[in-house]
Amino acid sequence: STTWAVILAAGSGTRMGGDRPKQFLTLDGAPLFWRSAETFSHIPDLAGIVFVFPPAMLDESARMVEELTASRPLGLPWLTTAGGERRQDSVANGLAALPKECGRVLIHDSARPFFSAGLATRLIDALDEETPAAIPAVAVTDTIKECESGCVTRTLDRSRLVSVQTPQAFLRDVLEAAHALAVEKSLQATDDASLVEALGRPVAIVDGEQANVKITNPEDVRLLQKEAAMIPV
Ligand code: C5P
């Protein structure tokens, strides 16, 4: 069986402001989501990429990928599909677009352009029948509190917490079962691993990367500019 990557680029990016979703911001002369595709293209074992785009921008985005591959070939087959209302709907659509022979899948937020091919490879390598999911995590450096109506209700034990990133790696059949469970039980999840947890299957932790930050707020765009400034033109 083969391994494919699903790149999620179907968010509206409302926290970013601006008139286009953040995944279409420019980094190194290409839209933000392209950096993730190029990183995946450096993984020898990867068989292909599914791009998930906003439904209203699907045609335009597919043309964009076509044009990009003309000057910067990925050397991999790729497909595009439309995303859904919530992130988990976009993942479900991405899964539905995978070819039959695909047995392992990496689910990745295009808002994290700085992960390494090495990280993705370690995640794939961590998968087996007993461990159907592997996710990158880093230690939490902030103290995390629960609060309600502007007041703290509880302080969590930081030594037990990790901050979780993407890409997240899965055996395809297990992730599909997890998403089916989410539909059946109306579960809401901000990452895919939590749906595998709900299924009662183990999720392995792999060391994440400090550089693998998520571009979420307007201030984060400075990270892109800093990065671009380091790339000679
Ligand atoms: O909203 P959040 O920052 O958690 O989104 C994480 C990733 O999921 C982003 O890359 C975004 O483009 C993607 N997403 C999506 N479809 C949605 C919502 C988010 O593909 N409906």
Q: Which one has a higher pLDDT value, 80 or 14?
A: 80
**pLDDT value at 161 more than 60:** yes
In which element (H, E) is residue 89 found?
Answer: helix 87-96
Distance from residue 109's CA to the centre of ligand 1 (Å): 6
Question: pLDDT digit string (tens) for 91-124?
Answer: 999 999 999 999 999 999 999 999 999 999 999 9
Distance from residue 87's CA to the centre of ligand 1 (Å): 5
Distance from residue 233's CA to the centre of ligand 1 (Å): 30
- Which residue reads 């999720």 in tokens? 203
Cis peptide before 167 (omega within 30 of 0): yes
Residue 203, φ and ψ in degrees, nearest 5: -120, 115
Distance CA 112, CA 32 (A): 9
Question: pLDDT digit string (tens) for 168-194?
Answer: 999 999 999 999 999 999 999 999 999
In which element (H, E) is residue 207 found?
Answer: strand 203-207
- C-alpha angle with apex 33: 105 to 91, nearest 5 degrees? 40
pLDDT at res. 228: 66
* Ligand 1 atom nearest to CA at 23: 12
Architecture of domain 2-217: Alpha-Beta Complex (3.90)
Distance from residue 8's CA to the centre of ligand 1 (Å): 6
Residue nearest to atom 4 of ligand 1 (CA): 190
Going by their DSSP bridges, the two strands 30-31 and 26-27 should be labelled as antiparallel
Ligand 1 pocket by C-beta < 6 Å: which residues? 8-11, 23, 52, 83-87, 90, 109-111, 216
ipTM of this model?
0.97
* Ligand 1 atom nearest to CA at 91: 20
Residue nearest to atom 14 of ligand 1 (CA): 11
Distance from residue 10's CA to the centre of ligand 1 (Å): 6
